[in-house]
């Protein structure tokens, strides 16, 4: 599991948390890490087509002003990229306590041809859904919403432009956090 964070200090904080967990639980948390990067720009540089099984967007910045909606981390354009890096059957989880953003994310996901909502039975059977609202401080607040969980229905859309996009960008200009 890899976390992606824009700000140095937050990245450092997450890194310290992971390291502390590794010390407290020897042999565990070896598959958790964080990188400081702009996830809205560089996701296709980090992951191959179909590589991911789950993506989490937990309490993203709401960007309420209309002129800033383009900064939202869920958008029709970015969902194209997320569909590219997710394998068929992969799941996008979103949670927010900003009602307007919840509606926005739900509309983006429902309006995208590569995603569809999980059934109530699937939601019930998924342990991650319960963790979203119980394992985060914000998630315990009553106004928190969980937008519907969706997954790529099929792989029919031509994403070859993304293959081209990835190949055309020179080496990384960001720095993965290193763990002992």
Ligand X SMILES: C[S@@+](CC[C@H](N)C(=O)[O-])C[C@H]1O[C@@H](n2cnc3c(N)ncnc32)[C@H](O)[C@@H]1O
Binding site for ligand X (CB under 6 A): 4-7, 10, 38-40, 58-61, 136, 138
Reduced to 3 states, what is the DSSP secondary structure of residue 68?
A: helix
* Of 38 and 113, CB closest to ligand X: 38
61 an active-site residue?
Answer: yes
Min dist CB 82 to ligand X, Å, is 13
- Identify which of residues 39 and 75 has a Cβ nearer to ligand X in the complex: 39
Nearer residue to ligand X within complex by CB, 71 or 157: 71
Question: How near is the Cβ of 56 to ligand X at its closest, in Å?
Answer: 8
Query: Minimum distance between the CB of residue 11 and ligand X, rounded to whole angstroms?
Result: 9
- The two most distant CA atoms of the chain are separated, in Å, by 47
Give the DSSP per-residue string, 94-160.
Answer: EEES-HHHHHHHHHHHHT-TTEEEPPHHHHHH-HHHHHHHHSSTGGGSTT-EEPPPEEE----S--H
- Residue 148 near residue 115 (C-beta atoms within 8 A): no
- Active site amino acids: 61
């Amino acid at each position: 599991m890899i976390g992606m964070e824009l700000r140095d200090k937050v990245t450092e904080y997450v890194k310290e948390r992971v390291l502390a967990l590794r010390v407290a639980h020897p042999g565990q948390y070896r598959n958790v890490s964080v990188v400081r990067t702009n996830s809205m720009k560089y996701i296709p540089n980090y992951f191959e087509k179909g590589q991911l099984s789950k993506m989490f967007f937990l309490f993203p910045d709401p960007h309420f002003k209309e002129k800033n909606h383009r900064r939202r981390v869920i958008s029709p354009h970015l969902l194209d990229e997320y569909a590219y890096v997710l394998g068929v059957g992969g799941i996008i989880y979103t949670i927010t306590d900003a009602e307007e953003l919840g509606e926005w994310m739900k509309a983006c996901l429902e309006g995208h041809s590569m995603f569809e909502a999980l059934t109530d039975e699937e939601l019930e059977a998924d342990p991650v859904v319960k963790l979203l609202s119980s394992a985060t401080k914000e998630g315990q607040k009553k106004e928190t919403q969980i937008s519907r969980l969706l997954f790529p229905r099929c792989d029919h859309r031509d994403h070859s432009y993304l293959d081209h996009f990835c190949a055309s960008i020179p080496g990384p200009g960001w720095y993965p956090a290193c763990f002992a």
